[in-house]
Structure 1
């Protein structure tokens, strides 16, 4: 950031329904490379760096042995993706969904990858976070506060100087609106991010606000473009606490109404510098 664009495939390992990166294969790499090339042809000023957005903290609808409503992908599987990405010069975003797990305890489990590997970065999906244990992933809607997320920014900010690796990227997925203009910002039925304006601004971390909504219905293109205009274009100017926008598409789900093309995506303002694809 900001000289390159990231085009990444998303998935939970082993779960084909979640995204095309469900297994680290040569065919997946070739398709990812082709998808990235489509963006680079349209905007050669921003060469594409391909990557994988890998869910490593997986939300569950049951408490599990720790009572966290989430579980970790096993270390061997994560390392297979690390090795694959290193071999193919791909970025790797470790995607944390948390459930009820303590935020910093969960982050600490995965920090060694970010500290050791220059190409490993982080993604966080507040849709599946319940830091106040007030809901169940996949059953209830979440409401997350900046105070839950800012310690993550602070932790990533210390890594480059201490471990001599490049500045880290941090993707915040936004699936629903925020509460900054609402009477009750903490109503989960109305807002996913309660107080987006309080997210910490730290130039040592490249924070990307990534619009993560799902189409596949009549009028979905207009809705997703409007969300991007509000959640990224408008909020970037209002809050000045993130510098880059991201956007997600779904190959199979959104095929029903015609998947937005790279030209459609790049026509939004500001043009997303991170584009991810799920299934």
Structure 2
């Protein structure tokens, strides 16, 4: 009997502890009932705060130097000249008559090979070789800027490509190329070089001595032009090497200017970023000249492509006046060369 008061006290404390959360629960349920009664809907759980989404980054288009490049999809037919010198070529003076004649010549090649649209152009000598040293001792001079500008605008207006033809003399090759860098930022302006008038070792005078150049003289030019498309965001450029005399690769003395123009063509750099064209530039004008020039094309271009693999295109030049002493090769005869030339130029 003495333990009962203690038990009753313990029971009362347990009831009190149970009653507290029970009372809180009743209060919360009552509050919820009042909320539903007033709003007609249960309370929504708290929402997580949305994380802001970053705007999508627009990808820059990938630059493709092949887009808009003339080769290999097109063929080029161009008129050659030193400005103001009628004897050099039909582009010596700009005008509607010259343009009409050029377009007619281009159309003849287009008819023979519809698969390669023909782009007409001008091969313009902008650094002219001299027999005298001149004020800076380079045996060459530049065509004045106003004249070059007029050719640039003529080509732009008429959809022509323009080759800036460099003849060097004693000038450092890269210095000469860089002198025309502003023009080469234009998508339709390309480069031609004529090693016949190039004396990087200053061992001869243009027009008096024969020249002999090495791949090491030409490679810095090829690579500089190869870099221009990415630098200026323009289509891949053409680089013409005019060849007037044989290669020296099979000679005992490849550096003999009387025997070879390019001592070591095998060592020309192979750079896919530029379209190198080896262009047969010899002059006919006698009975049998067509056979001779055909053989030169086979030796200097076709065999060179197969042996060295460091250039992909051939070029060929016709001289309207000089070669008409015998007869001119027809466009069909030019196109019969293998592989067919992708750049054909006409001088006088």
TM-score of Structure 1 vs Structure 2, range by shorter chain = over 0.9
Secondary structure of 2:190's aligned partner:
strand
Corresponding residue of 1:149 = 218
CA distance in 2, matches of 1:154, 1:265: 30
The correspondence of residues 115-126 of structure 1 with structure 2, limited to 5 A, is 115=185, 117-126=186-195
Select which of 247, 261, 266 maps to 1:192.
261
Write out per-residue CA displacement over residues 100-130 of structure 1, whole angstroms, 9 at most, x where no aligned residue: 1111111110121112x10000000000000
CA distance in 1, matches of 2:174, 2:113: 38
The correspondence of residues 1-279 of structure 1 with structure 2, limited to 5 A, is 1-115=71-185, 117-279=186-348
CA distance in 2, matches of 1:8, 1:101: 26
What is the CA distance between 1:157 and its match in structure 2? 1.2
What is the CA distance between 1:95 and its match in structure 2? 0.0
Secondary structure of 2:179's aligned partner:
helix
Secondary structure of 1:21's aligned partner:
helix
What is the CA distance between 1:218 and its match in structure 2? 1.6
CA distance in 1, matches of 2:198, 2:261: 10
CA distance in 1, matches of 2:211, 2:180: 23
TM-score of the superposed pair, with normalisation by structure 1: 0.99
Secondary structure of 1:257's aligned partner:
coil
What is the CA distance between 1:24 and its match in structure 2? 1.4
Higher relative contact order (CA 8 A, sep 6+): 1
| 4+ aligned runs moved over 2 Å, structure 1 | none
Aligned CA RMSD, in angstroms, stands at: 0.5
Write out per-residue CA displacement over residues 181-213 of structure 1, whole angstroms, 9 at most, x where no aligned residue: 000110111100000000001000000000000
What is the CA distance between 1:6 and its match in structure 2? 0.2
Secondary structure of 2:106's aligned partner:
helix
**How many corresponding residue pairs?**
278
Secondary structure of 1:158's aligned partner:
helix
Secondary structure of 2:325's aligned partner:
helix
CA distance in 1, matches of 2:190, 2:111: 26
CA distance in 1, matches of 2:307, 2:182: 34
Write out per-residue CA displacement over residues 19-77 of structure 1, whole angstroms, 9 at most, x where no aligned residue: 00001111111000000000001111111000000000000011100110000000110
Q: Where does structure 2 lack aligned partners over 5 or more consecutive residues?
A: 1-70
CA distance in 2, matches of 1:48, 1:220: 26
Q: Where does structure 1 lack aligned partners over 5 or more consecutive residues?
A: none
Corresponding residue of 2:65 = none
Larger Rg: 2
TM-score of the superposed pair, with normalisation by structure 2: 0.79
Higher strand share: 1
What is the CA distance between 1:145 and its match in structure 2? 0.5
